[in-house]
Amino acid sequence: MSSSEPNDLDATAVLSKGWEIVQELAKSNGESAWNIRAWGISVWCALLAYGYTSVKKEILVVAVVLLVVVFLIEIGIRQVQYKFIERSLEIEHCLNQMLAGSGFILPESGVSTNISTPSFADMLAMLSIRRWLIWFPYLLLLIFTLGAIKNF
């Protein structure tokens, strides 16, 4: 073996470190999405309360706009999170192959944190039934707010 060829131990260490970094990025994006959601719902509640106490329907409309904006921001963050999860799975697959004795196989995209830019199709995929825990709470809040505006 020449000095330019990586040995299995070095390759495993590089893949493990890359996997750890990508996992941390996915976790960080997940936490950011929850923080955005918590902040948005808190402000939504405050706007609803203020709208009712001041008897101003316009405040409730602002609450709807805020809800939609926060939802779109969370969807964007979740798209990035899921792309990092996909990258993590690629690296994990390569690690598993190495540990099974298949030798060093680099993931197709390498050990990189560079992910593709989220697209509109990715956003639509976030609205699937499988991802209902992301969009369903917003749908309930939207229905509640629109009902409140209608009955104001």
**DSSP 8-state code for residue 152:** -
Domain boundaries defined on the chain: 8-150
Q: Which residues of 25-35 are buried (b: 16+ CB within 10 A; e: fewer)?
A: bbeebbebbee
Q: Contact at 8 Å (CB) between 58 and 149?
A: no
* Continuous segment of H or E residues that includes residue 72: helix 57-99
Residue 116 is given by DSSP the state P
Q: From residue 44, give the alpha-carbon distance in Å to each of 15, 92, 151.
A: 43, 40, 18
pLDDT tens readout for residues 8-37 = 678 788 889 999 999 999 999 999 999 999
What would the pLDDT profile of 82-140 be if each residue is shown by its tens digit? 999 999 999 998 888 888 887 777 777 777 888 888 899 999 999 999 999 999 999 99
